[in-house]
């Protein structure tokens, strides 16, 4: 697959399915729509969150305001882990692409990439990331146009391989992925700080809607073209059908069969795309770490130095993690447990939802995956533990991955509402014992009032009922 797009827009699963599922690729053609549509969530929820947290620039800032510091820190950790995994996947993909196209060791290429991006990101900050995004867009268009033309001219389909592959047949996995991919991609988008920084940076809500709509259409077209290359690679013999491990490289294996001058241009474009993606991750991790962990009290150069140090384990893990899809699946499973209980707080009707409910629900969703594994594997705790990292991937041929992605969100909601009930019951008992009014279900006082008269009336009401208080930002 085109790894730059996979890492930047977390839609890699939709492409990888078409390139690796050797049992039924017909369903994969539908997944490109699934991979593109989640981008619209930023156009829908972005204006809501921007109004609720106008001073913010990432999702964790709203989380801190709505649920309190503990919940904000919890989401920050999840976000940082996600960005780390995406950085690992980007470098691992880059190394393998260089090897596939040139036959050379890709390690020197990723070392140079890390050094270059670290230098100009440290000097230019997030503004540089915006510039490289424009370059990236041009490179993607150029790569797709060049690929379509040369593949159309040079690639020859072997009819016997079409029948042998069975890609046009339906499969159980294909139907399972109609549920797994929307949940995985949609929820994981919430963990990408780069998306939220661009959401908050939009001048108006209309601009945000236009931007997300255009991005959705562009991603849909590009993913369709890139995804179909998996079929072409298999049917032309560029990717051997028995080679499941290199399935995600099918796009580049197909391009590798083209004339040398085309391969050279593609390699330059691919390196440029990977660099543009990696600097976005670096900017996101700098912003998230500085704001969420240190509340912008630490010198920005210290944060950037920590990011430079972080590059070392990223490279080490990338060299030892050839399975790109599994890296994304781990992050997807965590986000599937966290995001459903997080977004409940966006509703004004759920003003009673607290950070305690959110954190317990998130951890409970992950724990529910383990409980599902215990039941599914007849009490085998070892295999249940491995299900937490989806060691078997999506292609295990059973219901384990599907069950995990069902258990994570629904289990999280059950744990969250259970925690909410327990918290309210405990607060009610405390209120009765201490002789206080039970106020846990009182509506919060608005943070911003429109007129001075309203301000005065609200102040008088608070003096009359001193136990009444603003509930936003409370953990309990």
pLDDT in tens, 438-454: 888 888 766 554 444 44
CB 94 within 8 A of CB 106: yes
Let me know the angle formed at the C-alpha of 460 by 459 and 464, rounded to the nearest 5 degrees. 120
Q: Taking the CA atoms of 390, 396, 400 and 401 in sequence, report the sign of the dihedral they define.
A: positive
pLDDT of 218 higher than 80: yes
Name which of 425, 434, 43, 12 is nearest 202 in CA terms: 43
Residue of 9 and 361 predicted with greater confidence: 361
**pLDDT score of 364 more than 90:** yes
Query: Is the per-residue pLDDT at 23 higher than 50?
Result: no
C-alpha 433/C-alpha 435 separation (Å) is 6
pLDDT digits (tens, 9 = 90+) for 130-173: 677 777 777 777 777 877 887 888 788 888 888 887 777 777 88
Closest by CA position to 108, among listed 117, 120, 95: 95
Give the model confidence (pLDDT) of 179-193 as tens digits: 898 899 889 889 887
Domains of the chain listed by start with CATH number = 3-335 (1.20.1730.10), 347-476 (no CATH)
Look-up of token digits 């995804």: 227
**Predicted pLDDT at 153:** 81
Q: What is the pLDDT of residue 469?
A: 41
Name the one residue in this structure whose structure tokens are 């780069």. 194
How high does pLDDT run on average in the chain?
78
pLDDT computed for residue 419 by the predictor: 96
Quote the pLDDT of residue 10.
34
At residue 305, the pLDDT reads: 81
Do residues 107 and 312 touch, judged by C-beta distance below 8 A? Answer: no
Separation of alpha carbons 443 and 424, rounded Å:
14
Q: Has residue 34 got a pLDDT over 70?
A: no
Task: State whether residue 57 is helix, strand or coil.
Answer: coil
State the pLDDT confidence band at 31, using cuts at 50, 70 and 90.
very low
**Where do we find the tokens 């109609």?**
178
> Which of the two residues, 121 and 234, has the higher pLDDT score?
234
Question: Exposure string (b/e) for 291-302, b if CB count within 10 Å is 16 or more?
Answer: bbbeeeeeeeee
* Cα–Cα distance for residue pair 144/241, rounded to 1 Å: 24
Q: Which two tokens stand for residue 302?
A: 């210290």
Look at residues 366, 370, 347, 376 and name the one whose alpha carbon lies nearest to residue 415. 366
Give me the pLDDT at residue 125, please: 63
Question: Which is more confident, 428 or 30?
Answer: 428
Q: What integer is the mean pLDDT of 350-355?
A: 92
Contact 364, 419 (CB under 8 A): yes
> Which pLDDT score, from 0 to 100, does residue 412 have?
96
What is the pLDDT, as a whole number, of residue 459?
41
Give me the pLDDT at residue 232, please.
86
Residue 360 vs residue 296, higher pLDDT:
360
Assess whether pLDDT exceeds 90 at residue 394.
no
SS3 433: helix
Token pair of 163 as six digits: 């029948």
Please name the helix (run of DSSP H) or strand (run of DSSP E) that holds residue 3, with its range, or none.
helix 3-8
For the stretch 403-412, pLDDT in tens is 999 999 999 9
- Among 158-162, 252-256, 364-368, the minimum mean pLDDT is found in 252-256
pTM assigned to the model? 0.79
Please check the confidence at residue 398 and state whether its pLDDT lies above 50.
yes
Name the token pair of 42: 């930023």
């Amino acid at each position: 697959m085109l790894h730059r797009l996979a890492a930047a827009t977390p839609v890699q699963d939709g492409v990888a399915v078409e390139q690796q599922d050797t049992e039924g690729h017909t369903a994969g053609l539908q997944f490109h729509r699934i991979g593109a549509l989640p981008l619209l969530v930023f156009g829908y929820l972005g204006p809501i969150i921007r109004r609720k947290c106008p001073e913010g620039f990432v999702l964790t800032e709203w989380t801190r305001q709505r649920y309190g510091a503990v919940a904000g820190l919890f989401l920050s950790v999840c976000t940082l882990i996600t960005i780390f995994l995406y950085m690992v996947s980007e470098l691992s993909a880059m190394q393998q692409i260089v090897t596939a196209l040139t036959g050379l060791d890709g390690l020197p290429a990723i070392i140079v990439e890390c050094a270059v991006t670290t230098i100009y990101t440290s000097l230019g900050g997030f503004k540089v990331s915006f510039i490289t995004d424009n370059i990236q867009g041009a490179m993607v268009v150029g790569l797709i146009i060049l690929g379509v033309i040369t593949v159309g001219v040079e690639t020859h389909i072997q009819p016997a391989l079409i029948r042998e592959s069975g890609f046009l047949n339906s499969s159980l996995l294909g139907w399972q992925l109609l549920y797994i991919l929307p949940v995985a991609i949609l929820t994981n988008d919430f963990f990408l700080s780069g998306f939220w920084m661009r959401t908050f940076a939009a001048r108006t809500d209309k601009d945000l809607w236009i931007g997300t709509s255009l991005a959705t259409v562009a991603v849909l077209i590009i993913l369709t073209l890139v995804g179909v290359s998996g079929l072409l690679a298999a049917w032309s013999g560029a990717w051997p059908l028995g080679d499941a491990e290199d399935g995600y490289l099918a796009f580049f294996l197909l391009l590798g069969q083209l004339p040398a001058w085309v391969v050279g241009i593609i390699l330059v474009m691919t390196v440029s795309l990977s660099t543009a993606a990696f600097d976005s991750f670096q900017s996101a991790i700098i912003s998230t770490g500085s704001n969420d962990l240190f509340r912008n009290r630490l010198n920005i150069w210290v944060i950037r130095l920590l990011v430079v140090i972080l590059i070392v384990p990223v490279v080490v893990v990338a060299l030892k993690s050839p399975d790109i899809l599994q890296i994304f699946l781990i992050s997807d499973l965590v986000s599937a447990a966290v995001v459903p209980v997080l977004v409940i707080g966006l509703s004004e009707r759920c003003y009673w939802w607290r950070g305690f409910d959110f954190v317990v629900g998130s951890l409970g969703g992950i724990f529910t995956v383990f409980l599902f594994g215990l039941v599914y594997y007849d009490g085998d705790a070892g295999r249940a533990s491995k299900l937490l990292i989806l060691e078997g991937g999506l292609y295990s041929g059973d219901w384990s991955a599907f069950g995990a992605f069902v258990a994570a969100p629904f289990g999280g909601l059950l744990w969250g509402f259970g925690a909410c009930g327990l918290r309210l019951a405990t607060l009610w008992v405390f209120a009765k014992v201490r002789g206080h009014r039970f106020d846990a279900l009182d509506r919060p006082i608005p943070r911003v009032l429109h007129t001075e008269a309203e301000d005065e009336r609200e102040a008088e009401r608070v003096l009359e009922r001193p136990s009444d208080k603003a509930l936003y930002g409370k953990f309990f």
